[in-house]
C-alpha cells in the first residue's frame, strides 16, 4: 500500500502528489489517467511489450507515422511513467499484482471478468482478490455498459456510446440523419466521470481508511449529460429534435457571416432588441420592428423560419469580429466559431497558460493543451512529455518491487 508522500518522482505541492495509480486503460479511460497524472499522481502506464496500440493512433507529427510521433498518445499520456509487462503470462500477472498492492488506484477498461481471469492461481486480478489483501485500494473499471445488466457483455466504440447514450439522435439537422460530434466525446465523458469517482473514493478513504470498487458505464455517463433532452421528455412526453445550427429550439444560433460563422444568443429581450435595431440600421430588419415581434419568445414559434431568413441575410454583411464586439460591448454572449488554427493562436488561451510548450529529450518541442481549470496554489499541469514504451521499467520494477536487473529485463521483453 502506498502512503501519500512516499514517492519521490512527483512534486509534493500538487493535489494528488503521493498517490500511485496503475493505468491499464485503453482509449475509453486514457484521459482519466491523464487527469490524475496532471494533478500530481504517480500514474504508471502498464503497456504490453512493444508498446500500447494507442501509440499508433493518429494524427502524427508532420503527418508521418512512426515511433513517438502519435499526437494522440503524446497528449493523453503527459506526466505518466511507462512500464512494459505481459500481464497475460503468470509471471507478468504476478508482477502486476505486486504493483497493485503497492498502489492507491488501479484503472482498467477490460471487458467484465477480464481482470479476474488473469493470474488464476491466486484468484485473479479483479477487485475482490486484490481488496482481500489491500482493502485501501481504489479500483476503477470503465466499460461500455457497466459490470451488470443485460448489456454488460456488449461491445461498443465511442460512436456506439454516443449513439446509445442519447446524444446522437439530437445532433444534426432536422431533415438529416443523426450526426456525431467530432472527437471521442463518449470516451472522454466516461473518463471524466471515472476521475470524479476516483477523487470521491480517495476522499472517502481518507475519512474511513477503506477503498472501494468503482463501476463506470460509458452508456450511463453519456446519458447523464444530455442536458435538456431527458428533462424535455420527462415533462412533455416528446422526444427532443435535431436543431441544426440552433440550440434546443431556442434562438441561440450560429450564423454564416462574411468570414465564417458567429454565434448570436437572443434569449433575453434586451439582446433581441439590440439585434433587430442593428439590423434596422443596416436596412435589413424587414418587418422585425413590428409589435408582433416584441416578445422574444415568439422566436421559438411559427415565425422562426421567417426571422431566421432575415437574420441570415443580414449576418452576411458583417464579420465575426464585428458581431462579437457588438454583442460583448452590450453584454450579450456573442462570439465567433473558431477554427483549429485560431484556437492555437488565441491570446486568451496563451495568456492564461492553457497552452504549454514541453521539450522532449527524444523529439521536437511540442505545444500541449492543459487542463481547463486553475488552482491558485498549484503550478500548471503539463510537466513531463509522454513516456517512451517501458521508459521507466527499471525505476518502477526495481524501485518499487526491488526486482533485479535480470528480472526487469526478462519481464519487459
- The DSSP line for 174-239 is TTS-----SS-HHHHHHHHHHHHHHHHHHHHHHHHS--EEEEEEHHHHHHTT-THHHHHHHHHS--
Of 75, 247, 303, 306, the active-site residue reads: 247
Phi and psi at residue 100, to the nearest 5°: -60, -40
Cell output for 187 = 470516451
In sequence order, which residues have a C-beta less than 8 Å from that of residue 22 and are 6 or more positions away? 44, 46, 96, 99, 100, 103, 105, 106, 107
Burial of 213 (0-12, 13-18, 19+ CB in 10 A): middle
Nearest CA-CA partner of 170 in 180, 185, 182? 180
CA distance 107 to 76: 15
In sequence order, which residues have a C-beta less than 8 Å from that of residue 374 and are 6 or more positions away? 352, 353
- Overall size of the chain counted in residues: 413
In sequence order, which residues have a C-beta less than 8 Å from that of residue 211 and are 6 or more positions away? 104, 131, 134, 135, 136, 137, 138, 139, 201, 205
188 is catalytic: no
Determine contact, residues 130/97, Cβ cutoff 8 Å: yes
Q: Could you list the active site residues?
A: 247
Amino acid at each position: 500500500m502506498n502512503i501519500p508522500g512516499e514517492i519521490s518522482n512527483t512534486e509534493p505541492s500538487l493535489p494528488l502528489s503521493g498517490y500511485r495509480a496503475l493505468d491499464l486503460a485503453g482509449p475509453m479511460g486514457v484521459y482519466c489517467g491523464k487527469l490524475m497524472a496532471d494533478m500530481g499522481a504517480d500514474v504508471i502506464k502498464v503497456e504490453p511489450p512493444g508498446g500500447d496500440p494507442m501509440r499508433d493512433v493518429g494524427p502524427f507529427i508532420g503527418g508521418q507515422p512512426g515511433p513517438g510521433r502519435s499526437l494522440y498518445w503524446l497528449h493523453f499520456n503527459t506526466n505518466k511513467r511507462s512500464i512494459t509487462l505481459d500481464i497475460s503470462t503468470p509471471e507478468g500477472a504476478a508482477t502486476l499484482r505486486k504493483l497493485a498492492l503497492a498502489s492507491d488506484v488501479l484503472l482498467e477498461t477490460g471487458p467484465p471478468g477480464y481482470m479476474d481471469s488473469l493470474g488464476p492461481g491466486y484468484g485473479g486480478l479483479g477487485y475482490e482478490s486484490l481488496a482481500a489483501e489491500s482493502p485501501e485500494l481504489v479500483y476503477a473499471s470503465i466499460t461500455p455498459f457497466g459490470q451488470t445488466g443485460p448489456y454488460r457483455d456488449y461491445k461498443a466504440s465511442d460512436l456506439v456510446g454516443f449513439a446509445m447514450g442519447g446524444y446522437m439522435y439530437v445532433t444534426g439537422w432536422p431533415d438529416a440523419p443523426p450526426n456525431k460530434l467530432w472527437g471521442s466525446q463518449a470516451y472522454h465523458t466516461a473518463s471524466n466521470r471515472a476521475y470524479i469517482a476516483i477523487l470521491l473514493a480517495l476522499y472517502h478513504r481518507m475519512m474511513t481508511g477503506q477503498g472501494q470498487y468503482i463501476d463506470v458505464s460509458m452508456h450511463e455517463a453519456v446519458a447523464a449529460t444530455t442536458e435538456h433532452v431527458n428533462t424535455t421528455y420527462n415533462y412533455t412526453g416528446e422526444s427532443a429534435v435535431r436543431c441544426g445550427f440552433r440550440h434546443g429550439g431556442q434562438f441561440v444560433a450560429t450564423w454564416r457571416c462574411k468570414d465564417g460563422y458567429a454565434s448570436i444568443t437572443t434569449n433575453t429581450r434586451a439582446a433581441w432588441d439590440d439585434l433587430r435595431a442593428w439590423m434596422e440600421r443596416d436596412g435589413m430588419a424587414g418587418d422585425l420592428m413590428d409589435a408582433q415581434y416584441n416578445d422574444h419568445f415568439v422566436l421559438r414559434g411559427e415565425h422562426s423560419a421567417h426571422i431566421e431568413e432575415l437574420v441570415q441575410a443580414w449576418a452576411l454583411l458583417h464579420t465575426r469580429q464585428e458581431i462579437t464586439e457588438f454583442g460583448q460591448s452590450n453584454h450579450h454572449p456573442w462570439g465567433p466559431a473558431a477554427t483549429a488554427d485560431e484556437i492555437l493562436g488565441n491570446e486568451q488561451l496563451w495568456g492564461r497558460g492553457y497552452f504549454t510548450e514541453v521539450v522532449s529529450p527524444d523529439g521536437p518541442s511540442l505545444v500541449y493543451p492543459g487542463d481547463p481549470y486553475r488552482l491558485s496554489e498549484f503550478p500548471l499541469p503539463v510537466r513531463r512529455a509522454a513516456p517512451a514504451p517501458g521508459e521507466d521499467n527499471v525505476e518502477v520494477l526495481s524501485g518499487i518491487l526491488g526486482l533485479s536487473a535480470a528480472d526487469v529485463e526478462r519481464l519487459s521483453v
